[in-house]
């Protein structure tokens, strides 16, 4: 999306001090709620990983990581993470976490190729989480149960926040709606993927779109997803493909669908081979992470990321992510936001 300036926008929390207090309240409450819902242990995570290991997240395959040589490692290149999708699975194997339990961490990333707007910054902060599951949990019902638990953590946070800040009235529905990306295409065949999201989320207010990354009947994909973490190609019990998806909420300030999480059941060896072939990336099978997964050395998992600034932005009814986090913004964006009553950090 390009920059959107809501008409008659006002900061419901007043000054910066109240906003900062509310940001802390959201982060403290939500991570406690999330860890309780999913049985997660907090761990410390890296900001950098070595290049050429396959550990970093390729996102859509075109974004450039911030890369630099490390003098003490004979100038071996390292890079700032895009996310921790694969690192978490390695960590679970290292910790020997048993099925039913998992980890979460504060992930801080740099994505210099982002198009800056209300939702996107070059600085990304999210709760990255990953949980060990049994082989028999690799199914759509288990995915939906996990999504409902995450949604419950969001709702509990929204309700508790209302107690401390009564000007922030709860707006989320009791239940989250599930729909596959192919069903969405069939329902709105003349709309773009983003327009489909707006249409369905405007109606239901909270939606989980299944099968992000897999090819649809018109030959397109709903949105990009890497081949080596989310499983978007395994047939599911609804007759479609994919065991992953995105959580989207209706944002009344921006009047649009608002993604807060990308998540899913992760690839097993069979799904990874298939998805690498579909993306013509079979060469990745020789990388460190991929070799270990294909050798059966990593546990079966479900996981994802939940945007910290995104969730704060939604719950605090902010119009721009720059009201939550401090980052770099074009001067013309700063000026336009200032004129609209939006103060960027």
Q: Please tell me whether residue 68 adopts helix, strand or coil conformation.
A: strand
Model confidence at 70, pLDDT cuts 50, 70, 90, reads: very high
Catalytic-labelled residue, pool 31, 57, 79, 323: 57
Classify residue 126 by burial, with Cβ atoms within 10 Å: 0-12, 13-18, 19+: buried
Identify whether 197 is a catalytic site residue: no
Catalytic-labelled residue, pool 89, 111, 266, 317: 111
Mean pLDDT of 161-175: 96
Mean pLDDT of 261-269: 97
pLDDT of 1 > 60? The answer is no
Catalytic-labelled residue, pool 121, 126, 300, 325: 126
What does DSSP say about strands 40-42 and 102-110: parallel, antiparallel, or unpaired? Answer: parallel
Identify whether 343 is a catalytic site residue: no
Distance CA 59, CA 77 (A): 19
Catalytic-labelled residue, pool 121, 256, 262, 325: 262
Give yes or no for a contact between 180 and 238, defined as CB atoms under 8 angstroms apart: yes
Identify whether 57 is a catalytic site residue: yes
Identify whether 35 is a catalytic site residue: no
What does DSSP say about strands 76-80 and 48-50: parallel, antiparallel, or unpaired? Answer: antiparallel
Mean pLDDT of 233-241: 97
What are the structural domains, with CATH classification, of the chain? 16-339 (3.30.930.10)
Distance CA 80, CA 177 (A): 35
Model confidence at 63, pLDDT cuts 50, 70, 90, reads: confident
Cross-strand pairs, 245: 210, 263
User: Cα dist. 333→10, 322, 338 in Å?
Assistant: 17, 11, 8
Listed in sequence order, the residues at least 6 apart from 201 whose beta carbon sits closer than 8 Å to its beta carbon are 207, 248, 249, 250, 257, 258
Rg (alpha carbons) of the chain, rounded to whole number: 20
CA 63 to chain centre: 16
pLDDT of 224 > 80? The answer is yes
Give yes or no for a contact between 101 and 132, defined as CB atoms under 8 angstroms apart: yes
Identify whether 275 is a catalytic site residue: no
Catalytic-labelled residue, pool 130, 182, 197, 246: 246
Q: What is the pTM of this model?
A: 0.94
Catalytic-labelled residue, pool 106, 259, 334, 343: 259
Identify whether 158 is a catalytic site residue: no
Q: Look at phi and psi of residue 310 and say left if phi exceeds 0, alpha if psi is from -120 to 50, else beta.
A: alpha
């Amino acid at each position: 999306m390009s920059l959107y300036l809501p008409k008659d926008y006002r900061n419901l929390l007043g000054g910066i001090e109240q906003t900062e207090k509310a940001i802390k309240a959201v982060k403290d409450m939500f991570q406690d709620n999330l860890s309780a819902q999913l049985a997660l242990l907090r761990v410390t995570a890296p900001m950098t990983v070595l290049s050429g290991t396959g550990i970093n997240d390729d996102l859509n395959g075109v974004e450039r990581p911030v890369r630099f040589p490390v003098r003490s490692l004979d100038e071996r290149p390292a890079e700032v993470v895009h996310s921790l999708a694969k690192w978490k699975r390695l960590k679970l194997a290292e910790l020997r976490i048993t099925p039913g339990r998992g980890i979460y961490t504060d992930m801080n990333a740099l994505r210099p190729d982002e198009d800056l707007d209300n939702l996107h910054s070059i600085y990304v902060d999210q709760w990255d989480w990953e949980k060990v599951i049994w082989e028999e949990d690799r199914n759509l019902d288990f995915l939906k149960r996990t999504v409902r638990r995450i949604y419950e953590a969001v709702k509990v946070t929204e309700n508790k926040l209302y107690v401390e800040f009564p000007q922030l009235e709860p707006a989320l529905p009791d239940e989250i709606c599930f729909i596959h990306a192919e069903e969405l295409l069939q329902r709105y065949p003349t709309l773009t993927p983003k327009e489909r999201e707006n249409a369905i989320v405007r109606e239901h207010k909270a939606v989980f779109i299944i099968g992000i990354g897999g090819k649809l009947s018109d030959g397109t994909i709903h949105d990009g997803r890497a081949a080596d973490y989310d499983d978007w190609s395994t047939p599911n019990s609804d007759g479609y493909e994919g065991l992953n998806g995105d959580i989207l909420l209706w944002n009344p300030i921006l009047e649009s669908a608002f993604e807060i999480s990308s998540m899913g059941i992760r690839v097993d060896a069979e799904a990874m081979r298939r998805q690498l072939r579909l993306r013509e990336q079979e060469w990745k099978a020789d990388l460190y992470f991929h070799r270990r997964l294909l050798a059966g050395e990593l546990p079966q998992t479900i996981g994802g990321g939940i945007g910290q600034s995104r969730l704060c932005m939604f719950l605090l009814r902010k119009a721009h992510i720059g009201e939550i986090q401090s980052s770099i913004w074009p001067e013309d964006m700063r000026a336009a936001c200032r004129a609209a009553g939006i103060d960027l950090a």
